[in-house]
Amino acid sequence: MSLNSKNLGQDNHPKQSISIDVNVNAIETMLINGIDQISNYQKKNPDIYGDAIISNLQKKKKLIYNINKHEEIFINNQKNNLIKIFKYLKFRYKFYLCGIKKIDLGHPPYVLIEPVSTCNLRCPFCFQTDKSFTKKPFMGVMNLDLFKKIVAELNNLEVGAVTMGSRGEPTLHKNLDEMLSFLSKQENIFEIKINTNASFLNEKLCHTVLKNNVTQIVISADHYIKEDYERLRLGANFEKIISNVDLLYNIRAKYYPNSVTEIRITGIDNERNLDRKKFHDFWIKRSDHVAAGYPVERWNTYENTPHEDINDPCDYIWDRMYIWFDGKVNPCDADYKSYLSYGNVKDNTIKEIWDGEKLKKLRDQHLSNNRNKIVPCDRCGTSFCK
C-alpha cells in the first residue's frame, strides 16, 4: 500500500487520509454500465449538477470531480443501489462546488448539529480548555423536540449530510439513540456522521450507531503510544479507548455484516511530529480509514495574532451551517463563542436564517476582501487558497 495522502477537505487544514488509494475506476465503470438507468432518473429529476455528471461520464468516461476515500466507502456500502449512489454523487458535487465557487444553493448542503456542548476531555489544542467557555451560557444540552424540528426541516430542504457533534461530545446526550433513529428515517439525508472521542462507546452505543445506519463514525485518537495519546487526549485512558474501538469493530463484524457504517480514526498532529505510518498501522486494524491533520488555530481563537497573509473568502459560509444545542446558528466552531452567529432556529426557520441579511453581509464582507476586518475570521487561520 502506498503512502500517498489524499486531500479530504477543501481547506488547507484537512485531515489527510493515510496510505489510501481510491479505486475510482471501479466506480466509474459501475456508473457507465448503468448510464441508461441514471439518465432516466435524471430526466425525471433534472438539474445542472446531475446533467454535468452524466455528460462527463458519457464524453470522457470519467467522474467530473475527484472523489475521496470517504465517498468511495459510502458508495461501496450502498451495495450497487445505483440511483441512491447517483443522488449521493449529485449532492457531493454540489457540496464541493458551492464552497469553492461561492454558490448559494438556497440552503446549507451540510449541517452540524451539536447535541451537547460539554466534553469529558480537556485536549490541550481544543477550546474546551478555555475556562471562560466551559460555563454558562455556553454549556448545555439540546432538547429532543428542538432536534426533531431541525432535522425535519433539514430533510425538507434536502440537506445531504448531517454531523452529530461540534463543540462537545455528542455521546453525552441521553437521547442519542432516539435522535439517530429519527435522523436515519429521513429520506434526503444521505450522510449521518458522529464525531466522538470514544470514551463512552459501550455495547449499547455501538448497537445504536450501527442499527441506525450512521454512515461514518469519526473517532478522535491522536496517537498510537499511550503516553502521547493521554497527554494529547487529556482525561482519556488509552487502553479503554482501544478496547471501545475494538468493541465497535467486532460488533459490526458479528451482527451487522451489511453495515453502511464507516469507522474512521482521525488524529490531530498537534506537535507536528506524528509518525503517520505507525499511526496508520496501529489504527487500521480496528477501522476502515485512518486520517491525520494539523490543528487549526482553535484555542484561543479570539486571542490569536491576526493572519495578515490570509484573507481569502471562507468556504464555510456557503457550504455548511452549525447549530448549537440552544438553537443558535454559527458558520464554524473556530468561532466557538458565536461572535458570528447569524440566527437561532428557535426564532426562524433554517431557510429564513440562511437567506437572511446577517449571513448575506458576512458573505459580502468575505467576497470584498474584508475578511481581515472581522474577528475572528481575521485570526482563525483557516484558508481555502488552492
Give the residues lining the site for ligand SF4 (CB under 6 A): 314, 316-317, 331-332, 334-335, 340, 376-377, 380, 382
Whichever of 210 and 332 has its CB closer to ligand SF4, that residue is: 332
- Shortest Cβ distance from residue 380 to ligand SF4 (Å)? 3
What Rg value do the Cα atoms of the chain yield, rounded? 20
Question: Closest Cα to residue 73, out of 129, 17, 116?
Answer: 17
Q: Which residue has the cell 477537505?
A: 9
CB of 202 to ligand SF4, least distance (A): 34
Cell numbers 466506480: residue: 27
Question: Minimum distance from CB of 314 to ligand SF4 (Å)?
Answer: 3
* 242/340 with CB nearer ligand SF4: 340
- In angstroms, the Cα distances linking 314 to 101, 129, 278, 309 are 11, 25, 33, 14
Shortest distance in whole angstroms from residue 309 CB to ligand SF4: 14
Least Å from the CB of residue 4 to ligand SF4: 27
Q: Are 24 and 63 in contact (CB under 8 A)?
A: yes
Q: Are 304 and 25 in contact (CB under 8 A)?
A: no
The side-by-side arrangement of strands in the sheet containing 321-323 is 6-7, 16-17, 289-293, 262-268, 216-220, 191-196, 161-164, 110-113, 321-323, 328-330, 343-344
Residue number, 12 or 143, with CB nearest to ligand SF4: 12
The answer to whether 3 and 277 have CB atoms below 8 angstroms apart is: yes
- Least distance to ligand SF4, CB of residue 264, Å: 22
Taking the least distance from each CB to ligand SF4, the nearer of 288 and 335 is 335
Taking the chain, what is the end-to-end CA distance rounded to the nearest angstrom? 27
Closer of 206 and 268 to ligand SF4 (Cβ): 268
Q: Which CB atom, from 218 or from 332, has the smaller least distance to ligand SF4?
A: 332
Instruction: Give the nearest distance from C-beta 294 to ligand SF4 in angstroms.
Output: 15
Quick one: which of 238, 193, 237 has its CA closest to 217?
193
Q: Which is nearer to ligand SF4, 113 or 314 (CB)?
A: 314
Q: How far is the CB of 219 from ligand SF4 (least distance, A)?
A: 23
Rounded Cα distance between 202 and 204, Å, is: 6
Q: Where does residue 317 rank: exposed (0-12), middle (13-18), buried (19+ CB within 10 A)?
A: buried
CB nearer ligand SF4, residue 212 or residue 301: 301
